[in-house]
Structure 1
Amino acid sequence: MDLIRKILIGVEDRDLSSLESEYSSEQIDYHMHLLEQANYIEYSLKTKDRSILKGLTWQGHDLIDKIRNETFWNKFKADMKEKSIPVTLDLILPLIKDFIKRQLSISE
């Protein structure tokens, strides 16, 4: 899920170059394809070596607004790991919203 987060931030910033030192182009393309299928980004693979990134969708903006902060993201991941909850693209937004609600009720 870290690559998913990094891609979303990169898409928002219109700069994915920092990912190339950590991940292969195949990993990046595959995860971008997953993000497109989940309706988080608009992306199309034109040829084997050339792709076009159009940007975040409304849902993508909603998600990145919640997971941009690294401290929050790490707390969320730790909470999911502690509870042994697998985080998939179709579950991430509802899980994050629930996590935020629980964090707010703890601090009240």
Structure 2
Amino acid sequence: MKLHPDLVRKMLLEIEDLPYQEDYTLSAMYLLAIKNGYDDKAGVYTARKLSESGLVKGGFPDYLVIEELTFEGHMFLDSIRDESIWAQTKTLTSKFAGVSLDILKDVSTHLIKDYLKLN
């Protein structure tokens, strides 16, 4: 199954918006995927990969909920949060068949630093 960066971003944004101590459920994962034009299984797959990557704290593989973003999850989301930065990041990386989440973070961070004249 393919990991969709747009779905990763949307899921992280939804998880961040959860009230404290409210879990991101299996049905929320399904709905987000379907609402954004993906197969419902893509939502669960994305959530599993976010858990494996350490971007979220959750009950995988024991039960299918996500509790919250980790510190690394917040840092990654902050690098891709801005719509304009995200659009530029996708444009720059679209030349390749695929790029890792780390590369997406590096590209978006570089764009932010350029904008702030920190490079």
Which band: TM-score by shorter chain? Answer: 0.7 to 0.9
Corresponding letter in the other structure for 1:37: E
Give yes or no for contact 2:51–2:60 (8 Å, CA) kept in 1.
no
Q: Where does residue 95 of structure 1 map in the other structure?
A: 107
- Between the aligned partners of 2:7 and 2:54, the Cα distance in structure 1 is 16
Higher mean displacement: 15-24 or 70-79: 15-24
Q: Where does residue 35 of structure 2 map in the other structure?
A: 21
Gapped runs of 5+ residues in structure 2?
19-23
Corresponding letter in the other structure for 1:21: K
Going by fraction, where is strand more abundant, 1 or 2?
1
Gapped runs of 5+ residues in structure 1?
none
Matched, 1:7 2:21: no
Higher mean displacement: 4-13 or 71-80: 71-80
Query: Secondary structure of 2:65's match?
Result: strand
- Between the aligned partners of 2:74 and 2:57, the Cα distance in structure 1 is 12
Query: Secondary structure of 2:99's match?
Result: coil
Q: 1:104 to 1:31 in 2, by over 3 A?
A: same
How many corresponding residue pairs?
A: 104
Give yes or no for contact 1:12–1:55 (8 Å, CA) kept in 2.
yes
